[in-house]
Amino acid sequence: MTTSNFKGLQVKDLKVYYDTPEGVVKAVDGISFSLAQGKRLALVGESGSGKSTLSMALMRLTRAPGRIAAGNIFLDDVDILDLDVEEMRLARLSKISLVPQGAMNSLNPVLKIKDQILDGLFDHQVFGGKKISKDEQYSKVNDLLSAVELIPSVGDMYPHELSGGMKQRVAIAIATSMDPQVIVADEPTSALDVVVQRTVMQTLGRLQEGLEASIVLVGHDMGLVAQFADFVGVMYAGKMVELGPVNSVFEKPLHPYTRLLIRSLPTLENKEDFVGIPGLPPPLLNLPPGCTFCTRFGRENKNNPPWKEVSKDHWISECENCSDIGK
């Protein structure tokens, strides 16, 4: 199945469900968005809202008992859900790549950094299946390390010899080693201090611009999102409730959940009163139809709120029953 001549990433009505003995968990339930080539989208929301599940689905790395139940994921005009296992394996790194959450858990502890970088390149036959010298191999590794501001000697180290920030840069080097069209970054700065976070994000942004790739960033740090992203998608209980240009969403949030999420951020002006979001998100097991945000406040709307464009590129899930909350 193909779509129009759109350059970038298109997700259409994507659903990721988990089958459990108690019932079906709708972790991602009907997500749609388009991200043009070279643009940055950040996904935000409380823990358990479906952000990481969505990012894994984009890579087709959903693990059992999870399954992609419906939808399409287009890279340019190709639906990657139609690719066979081998085609999808080759598409990872070369078409769409992942900067995982916590590089310390994604790097092989018993392999040197240079061998981990080369592993992906050989697997995808970057060298055309030719037998090349060690010097040529390590020259490629050094170029990739240099691109993320690491010195060549890092290639001869093991992961345990690197700091958290260095490991994350290695993960970025691997993710960008084959010039992908889309980079999925799942909380790439978690467990890093503020200064290192900034450096890692600057490195990722610089490489993304050089590649003219798109980025889907999963994050909790709203300040980082505001600085880094072009667009922000707000997720709640497996659904996208607001999506728009980052300045528009932060300056004039339209969905009540977005308003409360932004209001809950601590500020220098208000050091004493931490304002959280009342209640808890609903359990995703056997969700009833209708507005899931209404139920958090003891309200009810059994009709699914329409997905509506309220201004250019700014969309919300509009529910009249809870639209007054947070105003």
**Angstrom distance (rounded) from CA 212 to CA 318:** 34
Adjacency order of strands within the sheet including 78-79: 23-36, 8-20, 66-75, 78-79
**Angstrom distance (rounded) from CA 10 to CA 32:** 8
Q: Could you tell me the pLDDT band of residue 270, with boundaries at 50, 70 and 90?
A: low
Half-sphere exposure of 47 (CA within 13 A, CB side): 0
Residue boundaries of the structural domains of the chain: 8-317
Mean pLDDT in residue range 1-9: 70
DSSP secondary-structure letter at 63?
P
| Higher-confidence position of 122 and 252 | 252
Fill in the amino acid letter for 109. P
CB-CB contact of 100 with 190 (8 Å):
no
Question: Cis bond leading into 253, ω under 30°?
Answer: no
Q: What is the pLDDT of residues 144-175, one digit of tens each?
A: 999 999 999 999 999 999 998 999 999 999 99
**Angstrom distance (rounded) from CA 178 to CA 199:** 22
pLDDT of residue 136: 84
pTM over 0.75: yes
**Residue 168 CA from chain centroid, whole number:** 15
8-317 topology per CATH: Rossmann fold (3.40.50)
CB-CB contact of 103 with 162 (8 Å):
no
pLDDT of residue 13: 97
| Helix axis angle, 113-123 to 164-175, nearest 10° | 20
